[in-house]
Amino acid sequence: MHVQTTIDGAVATVMLNRPERMNALTKEMREELIEAFQSLRFNNDVRAVILTGAGTNFCAGADIDKMADQDLRDRRDRLQGLSQTYMRILHALEKPVICAVRGHAVGIGMSLVLGCDIVLASDTARFGQTFRRIGYAPDGGGIWFLARRLPMNIAKELVFTGRVFDAAEGKSLGLVNHVIPDAELMDRANAMAADLAEGPTFALGLSKKLFHVASGPSLEDYLEYEAFVQPTLGMTHDHKEGVTAFKEKRKPKFKGR
């Protein structure tokens, strides 16, 4: 398994464990994330969660080499059945979730970060909504999260340019809570999770739901529209060119179609 869950007292740690591929997500890892988050959702002994990645990176996005050639219906079913499902469950967890990030957290990896409640970033962390490189729009609710945390023009710049930025800029933007020396990252994450787990976690979980309601249209409504946009883009010339260029390690030649 490439997603490992360990429980220490009232704190669970979910680790993406495919460091040789920078923890890039495969179909199997998505399924394992669903299973992990679902099991924690109904485990009342677990009162706080840490999400992190093995090795020197959090998650380099989806594994491009594993992308299959599918028709529109298959792409929509895959998106709703996998990527959107684990983000829904992560978002709905009625307990605090801390994301401990080192190295790259890009593409769907950044969406995973945004889906957590508190972000602790190593000074090595790098973030980016890099979907434009393969002719895609962000998935996993990435734009929904960004639009609630950033001014709209800043959120659009990050998506339109796909640029990668460091932990210090992430903190200045309000996407990162604390920037921490790399060697201290997991100690700080564990200490914070243990402190939260000792709190009134039922009240904290329901407070999360109030934040969700206060932020405007629901994630569910947004994901339904995302499930139309992503499969449509998957059929375009630019997406196919982007994936081919990525595999061939060259600059893509997009045509806007």
Contact assessment for residue 33 and residue 18, using Cβ atoms and an 8 Å cutoff: no
Residue spans of the domains in the chain: they are 3-181
Condensed to tens digits (0 to 9), the pLDDT of residues 147-199 reads 999 999 999 999 999 999 999 999 999 999 999 999 999 999 999 999 999 99
pLDDT tens digits, one per residue of 11-25? 999 999 999 999 999
Of these ranges, 84-93, 108-117, 214-223, the one predicted with the greatest mean pLDDT is 108-117
According to DSSP, the β-strands at 118-122 and 178-180 are parallel
The helix or strand, by DSSP H or E, that contains position 127, with its residue range, turns out to be: strand 126-128
- Angle between helices 142-149 and 152-161 in degrees, nearest 10: 140
Cα 105–chain centre separation: 8
Give 71's pLDDT tier (boundaries 50, 70, 90): low
Annotation: CATH topology of 3-181: 2-enoyl-CoA Hydratase; Chain A, domain 1 (3.90.226)
| Residue appearing with tokens 């996005």 | 61
What is the chain's Cα-based Rg? 17
Q: Which of 115, 147, 123, 142 is nearest to 131 (CA)?
A: 142
Whether the predicted pLDDT of 74 surpasses 70 = no
Task: Give yes or no for a contact between 40 and 71, defined as CB atoms under 8 angstroms apart.
Answer: no
Give 163 or 64, the one with higher predicted confidence: 163
| Residue 239 to residue 232: CA distance in whole angstroms | 10
pTM value? 0.86
